[in-house]
Structure 1
């Protein structure tokens, strides 16, 4: 980097370099890196643009820009991503939370509040048994929501923060990912029961009212064609959904037998062109009276929910 005089000049030079390097959102990346090394954000950042660029942060800023220019996601460089208005630590052990997943959280919170307004499951309001009747619940208890594939904890921690009356649990096959999720739960002041294991297996025998998951859904052969930021840096175990990307959904449908009864509310995030197939999997299971598809902000069918009222 040349001897820039102001923060604005540092921003302009970094943005130009990142654009030439083929980075997506080069200006946004430059701003996030600057905010990180300067320790400012929002209005404070814009107010500081005319200030002299501090020599003390030059080395750290140049190192971050170089890493970003090589394709490393800016979130891993600064170690953080905002989700649902809260800060989440992210490392290469976890998928970077995406804005579209916030829509899944919103849907789960909305329908969960409709089904259980006070966050309590009373006798007769249990998850449904395989015959469609009420489960055997002998006493009122907190609603139990389970997040499969916790990753950074974005979904489970947000549910716990937004619906504190719920009992929120989350599982992941990666011990490293669970460590990140646990730190994020602590950071955001929430209580989440994290469990290590494959999909629903850690929750065998547990009464589950809500099941939510953003599982790996990229077809294996498509991973080589992903953006370098995703392909080369995000954990493959959080991306690869098997030959057609649908293996995790099929397996979760099969593993529902591990639970005392299927959940009354289930919600999945999915990839482009998968909504019809995932909805068909839920319909074939026969546990839910409504199957709902939700589009993301680009109009792409992104989430499928099953609901029994």
Structure 2
């Protein structure tokens, strides 16, 4: 079967179908699209394609099915249940890059798959980062991604909660995407999120602000924090000298505390 016929039969969007085809064949997805009438798949690749499609149809997120995703122009290893990168978080990195260019050491709690710290390290060769997560799987995945992007010598990963992790006086700034969804709102999330992703990494406790209070107690500035779309007022009440950055949908997305 040639790829053109397979694309027409796929239950996924064209974009997602091409991503899966790239994953199972090893060919660039743009090359596949431009040459779809000429490329034929052998049986092994065809079976791998069908198996991956089946996983996605059963509810598994595409990112977990192919084991990778792209963030801020770079490819990262993605493994369940560590949270899947969201495009909105790229705004957190954009703003951090503007602020931290003259700093030497940064701290990222709730590191997840490492996408934020690693993106900063790739952009600024002089920078070092300390990253923490209470989830051992997240720490392991961050180390894998650090090695993938050859920044493992500038990224210290500690499996610990925020308060016990580091000596704050040695850190120049903090960047974080903490859990900020109120516990009572978690059951409104998409089914695939509830079934596959680490809910603890999303749970901001009763009012969604628990971990922001914990970060405030560190007394570290500047802080560059991702926030929920409805948390601008609460964050401004909690912190002083707050600048809120809106995302491309005109929702509050990043708080800068100086």
| Counterpart contact for 1:10–1:53, Cα < 8 Å | no
* Counterpart in the other structure of 1:237: 200
Q: How far apart in 2 are the matches of 1:202 and 1:54?
A: 50
Q: 8 Å contact 2:130–2:155 — kept in the other structure?
A: yes
Q: 1:263 aligns with which of 220, 237, 241?
A: 220
Q: Kindly indicate whether the alpha-carbon contact (under 8 Å) linking 1:6 and 1:52 is maintained by their aligned counterparts in 2.
A: yes
CA distance in 2, matches of 1:86, 1:200: 30
TM-score, normalization by structure 2: 0.93
In the alignment, what sits opposite 1:146? 107
Matches within 5 A, 1:75-86: 75-86=63-74
Distance across 2 between alignment mates of 1:232 and 1:63: 19
Residue number among 8, 24, 31 corresponding to 1:12 in the alignment: 8
CA RMSD of aligned residues (A): 1.6
Alpha-carbon distance in structure 2 between the residues aligned to 1:200 and 1:96: 25
Provide, for residues 191-243 of structure 1, a one-character-per-residue CA deviation record: whole Å limited to 9, x for no partner: 20111111242013542211011011112122222112212111111111112
- Alpha-carbon separation, structure 1, partners of 2:8 and 2:113: 32
Match of 1:47 in 2: 34
How many residues are treated as equivalent by the alignment?
A: 255
Where in structure 2 are the equivalents of 1:276-287 lying within 5 Å? 276-283=233-240
Show structure 2 runs of 5+ residues with no match.
Answer: none
- Alpha carbons of structure 1 residues 27 and 241: separation in structure 2 relative to 1, 3 Å: farther
2:242 maps to 1:291: yes
Structure 2 CA distance for aligned equivalents of residues 34 and 242 of structure 1: 40
Q: How big is each residue's C-alpha offset from its partner over 1:93-112, in whole Å with a ceiling of 9 and x where there is no partner?
A: 31111111111111011022
**Aligned partners of 1:206 and 1:112: how far apart in 2?**
16
Distance between the aligned counterparts of 2:220 and 2:184, measured in 1?
33
- Higher radius of gyration, 1 or 2: 1
Q: Distance in 2 between matches of 1:83 and 1:71?
A: 22
